[in-house]
Copies of this chain bind each other. A is one copy, B any other.
Amino acid sequence: MEFYIPTRVYQESDAVKNHGKEIAALGRKALIVTGKSSSAKNGSLADVKAALEDNNTEYTVFDRIEENPSIAAVMEAAEIGRSEGADFVIGIGGGSPMDAAKAIALMIQNRDSSEDILYTDIKLKALPVVEVPTTCGTGSEVTPYAILTRKELKTKQSIRHRIFPEIACVDAKYIKNAPQSIIINTAIDALGHFIESYFNLNATDYSKMLCLYGMKEWAKNLHVLRGENFGEKECNSLLFASTLAGMAISHTSTCVPHGLSYYLTYNKGVPHGKAVGYFLAGYMALVNQRIPNEADRIFKLLGFSDVKEFKEFIIACLGRPDINDEDATNMLNGIMENHGKLAVLPFVVTRMDIRYLITYIL
Contacts and interface: CB of A to CB of B under 8 A. Distances in A.
Interface of A: 1-12, 205-206, 209, 212-213, 217, 240, 243-244
B8 A12 contact: no
20 contacts: A1-B10, A1-B11, A1-B12, A2-B8, A2-B9, A2-B10, A2-B11, A3-B8, A3-B9, A4-B7, A4-B8, A4-B9, A5-B5, A6-B6, A6-B8, A9-B206, A205-B217, A205-B240, A209-B213, A213-B213
A10 B1 CA distance: 6
Contacts of A5: 3, 5
Contacts of A212: 213
Nearest to A5: B5
Contacts of A7: 4
A22 to B, nearest CB: 11
A8 B213 CA distance: 21
A235 to B, nearest CB: 14
Given A1-B12, A209-B213, 18 more contacts: A1-B11, A2-B8, A2-B9, A2-B11, A3-B8, A3-B11, A3-B243, A4-B7, A4-B8, A4-B9, A6-B6, A6-B8, A9-B206, A205-B217, A205-B240, A209-B244, A212-B213, A213-B213
A202 to B, nearest CB: 13
Contacts of A2: 8-11
Contacts of A1: 10-12
A240 B10 CA distance: 25
Nearest to A210: B209
Contacts of A12: 1
Nearest 9 CB-CB pairs, A to B?
A3-B9, A6-B6, A4-B8, A209-B213, A1-B11, A2-B10, A205-B240, A1-B12, A213-B213
Nearest to A12: B1
Contacts of A213: 209, 212-213
Contacts of A3: 5, 8-9, 11, 243
Nearest to A237: B205
A190 to B, nearest CB: 15
Contacts of A240: 205
A248 to B, nearest CB: 12
A5 B8 CA distance: 8
A128 to B, nearest CB: 13
Nearest to A208: B213
A244 B11 CA distance: 20
Contacts of A10: 1-2
A9 B3 CA distance: 5
Contacts of A209: 209, 213, 244
